[in-house]
Amino acid sequence: MANTTTGEAAKAVVRRNTEEVQGKGNFAIFEELFAKDFVDHTPQPGRTPDREGARELYHVLRAAFPDFHAVIHWQAVDGNLVTTFKTYHGTHKGEFFGLSPTGKSIQFDTVDAMRVRNGQITEHWGVANLFSLMEQLGALPATIKT
Interacting residues with another protein (CB under 8 A): 1-2, 7, 42, 73-74, 76-79, 81, 83, 85, 109-113, 125, 127-132, 134, 143-144, 146
Cα–Cα distance for residue pair 122/52, rounded to 1 Å: 13
In whole angstroms, the minimum distance from the beta carbon of 71 to another protein comes to: 14
CB 113 within 8 A of CB 82: yes
| For another protein, the closer CB: 20 or 109 | 109
Quick one: which of 112, 101, 92 has its CA closest to 17? 112
| For another protein, the closer CB: 32 or 112 | 112
| For another protein, the closer CB: 30 or 114 | 114
In whole angstroms, the minimum distance from the beta carbon of 3 to another protein comes to: 12
In whole angstroms, the minimum distance from the beta carbon of 27 to another protein comes to: 26
In whole angstroms, the minimum distance from the beta carbon of 87 to another protein comes to: 10
| For another protein, the closer CB: 48 or 132 | 132
Q: What share of the chain is helix, strand, coil (3-state, %, to 5)?
A: 35, 35, 30
Quick one: which of 108, 129, 114 has its CA closest to 84? 114
The 69-78 sheet, strands edge to edge? 34-40, 120-128, 105-117, 81-91, 69-78
